[in-house]
Structure 1
Amino acid sequence: MRTPATMSAVVALAATASMALAACSEPVEEGTPGITDDTVTIGTHQPLSGEAAAGYASISAATSAYFAYVNANGGINGRQIEYLVKDDAYDPVDTQSAVTDLVEGEEVFAIVNGLGTPTHSSVLDYVDEEGVPDLFISSGSRVWNQPHVYPNTFGFNAEYVTEGAALAQYALDRQPDARVCVLGQADDYGDGILEGVETVLGGNEIAEVQTYLASDADITDQIGRLMAAECEVNILGTINGFTAMAIGTAAQLGWSPQWYVSSSGADYPTLVQYLGEETGPALLEGMVSVNYLPFSPDSDWVALFTQINDEYNGGAPFTANTVFGMSAGYLFAEALAAAGEEPTRESLIAAVESGELLGNGIVPLSYSDDNHAGYQTVGIATIEDGVQDYEGTTYNVNVGQVTEVEAAPVPLENAGIPQG
């Protein structure tokens, strides 16, 4: 027989169970992934190993160093930036595993500066479907600039078509009668460079076109065919390793044409590393390339990034990749600052599309709700006496039209730390 005491206990237990059930049935309010009161966690995929590592592994290290500098100076809106770097060895299969872990395992706020056209293409749809901001992709493919298809995706590099057109225009302006040829990677990278050259010269005016696979160990046949075509200007859509392979192979064949190289494969210190300190500088002398970031020796940005590299990156070799990595980091910090004191993924995208982000390039960026491309203006750089620097010619490329413009470098402000 139940006593009043036991009856009371049963009632109390039932009431407790009822309250717990009600609590379980109510939706639990969750915060923005990757955001806490004092941290912002973002991620990226990079080739830290494999054939592309020698040319690109230094990029994420430079970005990490820039974020360490920002964090040491109070962060952005009081939050520290945690940057998770996953190695994908420049292999799309590994990219998929890395990015899935970042999105589902680490629950990052955004993917930032994921590197590579074939690699990032393999996760583009996935990141979009997950609603994760996909910012400042380290590739010049035009695929990233489809805001009505991929509303959260933004490029960073100048598009390959832009670079190809600018290199061809410079060749036409300086050597109008030269036989121009193209060597490109057999994917969207090489295709974009070739398309840009064709917009300026026309397909019939290109003396020879050769391609290579990123897995190729030798391109002697391709270089031999360019040589047989008597090419005088070779425009390259190549990553650093294959730029060095092309120039080195030509030298072995006793051939010395003019080399015009896209920004992704034209980093002078990296190329010297591939070609060797004894022969590299001589082989690279006079090489023409394009860029859009501040790597001139007298740039205030370079001075700051050199200081950051020495203090937060262990004094690693300072290259154009250092500038690239820190510039991408700066742009994310600028976007995060503009996203507000309580950032959400929606406010981050709105900040990028606002048109107020400037970046730190030779001209301000111009993102908008209908333009998710990175830089559309590039400057011509040359190597002279072992120094790679802008020579003063700057081209804007818009819908296939190449126009020479004045550079308008974004000035360094507030010690390179964006303010909200």
Structure 2
Amino acid sequence: MKKSSGPRRGRPALALALISSLLLVAAACGSGGGTSGSTSGSSSANASKCGLGNGQKATGAPLTLGAIVTKQPGTDFTGITGMTQAYFSCVNDNGGINGRPIKYIVETEQTDPQQVAALATKLIDDDKVLAIVGSTSLIDCAVNHTLYEQRGFNVIVAGVPFACFSTPNIAAVNMGPYYSSEGAAQYLVSLGVKTMVVAGANVPGGDHDISGVTAIAQANHIPSKGAFLENVPISDAAGIAVKLTQAAGDGGGVVLNFTPPEGLKILQAAEQQGLIDKVKWAWSTPGNDASVVQALGPAWNGKLGVNAELNLVDSTGPDNALYQKITKQYAPTIPLGSFGQMGFVAADIITHTLLGLPDSQLTAQGVNAAIRQIKNFKTDILCKPWYFGDLQQHVPNNADRTVVPQNHVFVQKQGCFDIAPLQGNNLDTIRQTEKSQGLNGT
């Protein structure tokens, strides 16, 4: 059973029964029985379920939550908020939050700071959201973290810029491109690469997102041969593939940090030009996506290490099994992948927090106070229990895996490992606080 020291509601295991697959999905959303650090071979006797799991539509007064998400050419994170919405739809079909449905307002943005600031104010002041959950934006954290601090909002995101991981009122279910790219570089170090090169999207904060790769290379006395920012959508994937492999040289390593469609362009171009075996390849977490591995041919088997901040998308723990079922029933157009898992985990956390609160605390003040108290939230999708806690910087997801393609599916290459502490990445301090406050059982 999932456990958290924040407000929670007890969750009986589902009895085994012969029911249709539709009813199985409808009765299955929002509660888990996994343990931290599970792999694709893990399982549990406790099934996960949506909310109350009673198969009855919620009809009471809605509880309103909100999110801000980037959607623009070359960068589209709406699969994350789409999965959060799908989870809430399943909850609403299963009794809601003690009879009250969740209303989810998602605002899309195009990296305009004034627009993003206005959207946060709208959600808080006009829409009267109780909490902000599942936001995934290139600039929201940087633009709005001061507002969230001033208004007492503890925001659960899928983080992108470093401000999502270095401010007191925002905690992410993922570790973001900076830490994930660092993890991808750690994988290349383990392969003994002679040099290292990194390329990422030319978006706000993109230079910092890939800076950890250079730092990992330097810490391991590996020559860094370049850090490149590429405009997205990518229009010359072949040219980029040649540039990166030439810069790295034979026996070098290349780290990619792009969304699934853009990174896939580079890999397919590399295959077309016979460049796969010229270097060792790695990709940050967005590459852990079914659309990617299904598109890669057998030539890539075992030759691309993807840093997976979340479990294998076909892992069999109860939470990930529920994620797969909800996707099939409520969001069939969203590919199975890390982005969808991020949206699922964010929704799972807030749902269980809301279910544990009395009606008198279902206010913005009450809900955000409860979010701050979340710790030891276990799910088989993450390597370690998740927490919010009282910290100046938040990186609760700071250990992950490496997966590699094998005949159109990803398989685990490296089990859960810690992202390396570096100067300026706060991980030493964060892990010390985890232990002193008992935030994740470490």
TM-score, normalising length: structure 2:
0.70
Q: What is aligned with 1:293?
A: 310
Q: What is aligned with 1:259?
A: 281
Q: What is aligned with 2:55?
A: none
Gaps of 5+ in 1: 1-35, 404-420
CA contact (8 A) 1:377 1:396 kept: yes
State the Cα distance separating 1:83 from its structure 2 match.
0.7
Residue correspondences, number: 355
Task: Please state which structure has a larger fraction of its residues in helix.
Answer: 1
Q: What is aligned with 2:434?
A: none
CA contact (8 A) 1:46 1:90 kept: no
Q: Partner of 2:226: helix, strand, or coil?
A: strand
Q: What is aligned with 1:418?
A: none
Matched, 1:396 2:414: no
State the Cα distance separating 1:357 from its structure 2 match.
4.7
CA contact (8 A) 2:90 2:330 kept: yes
* Aligned partner letter, 1:237: N
Q: Partner of 1:123: helix, strand, or coil?
A: helix
The higher-RCO structure (CA 8 Å, 6+ apart) is 2
Q: Partner of 2:155: helix, strand, or coil?
A: strand
Gaps of 5+ in 2: 1-58, 429-442
Pair 92,217 (structure 1): closer, same or farther in 2 beyond 3 Å: farther
Q: 1:181 aligns with which of 185, 191, 197?
A: 197
Q: What is aligned with 1:57?
A: 78
Q: Partner of 1:113: helix, strand, or coil?
A: strand
Q: What is aligned with 1:408?
A: none
State the Cα distance separating 1:323 from its structure 2 match.
2.3
Matched, 1:333 2:351: yes
Q: What is aligned with 1:199?
A: 216
* Aligned partner letter, 2:107: K
1:52-93 deviation digits (Å, cap 9, x = unpaired): 33xx33222221111111122222344321111222256555
CA distance in 1, matches of 2:242, 2:114: 33
Q: 1:44 aligns with which of 51, 61, 67?
A: 67
State the Cα distance separating 1:304 from its structure 2 match.
1.4
State the Cα distance separating 1:234 from its structure 2 match.
0.7
Q: What is aligned with 2:138?
A: 117
State the Cα distance separating 1:324 from its structure 2 match.
2.3
Q: What is aligned with 1:303?
A: 321
* Aligned partner letter, 1:117: L
Pair 210,222 (structure 1): closer, same or farther in 2 beyond 3 Å: farther
* Aligned partner letter, 1:136: I
Q: Partner of 1:209: helix, strand, or coil?
A: strand
Pair 340,304 (structure 1): closer, same or farther in 2 beyond 3 Å: same
Q: Partner of 1:393: helix, strand, or coil?
A: strand
CA distance in 2, matches of 1:91, 1:285: 40
1:263-290 deviation digits (Å, cap 9, x = unpaired): 1x203323368xxx5xx33465332112
CA distance in 2, matches of 1:135, 1:158: 15
Larger deviation, residues 110-119 vs 66-75: 110-119
CA distance in 1, matches of 2:96, 2:206: 35
The 5-angstrom pairing of residues 103-252 of structure 1 reads 103-129=124-150, 131=151, 133-147=153-167, 151-173=168-190, 175-186=191-202, 187-199=204-216, 201-202=218-219, 205-214=223-232, 217-218=235-236, 221-229=239-247, 230=249, 232-252=252-272
TM-score, normalising length: structure 1:
0.73
CA distance in 2, matches of 1:290, 1:344: 38
Pair 247,119 (structure 1): closer, same or farther in 2 beyond 3 Å: farther
What RMSD over aligned residues (CA atoms) do the two structures have, in Å?
3.2
CA distance in 1, matches of 2:350, 2:112: 25
CA distance in 2, matches of 1:47, 1:192: 16
1:89-143 deviation digits (Å, cap 9, x = unpaired): 56555534543432333222222121123354333334444x1625222224332
The 4+ residue runs of structure 1 with deviation greater than 6 A are none
CA contact (8 A) 1:289 1:380 kept: yes
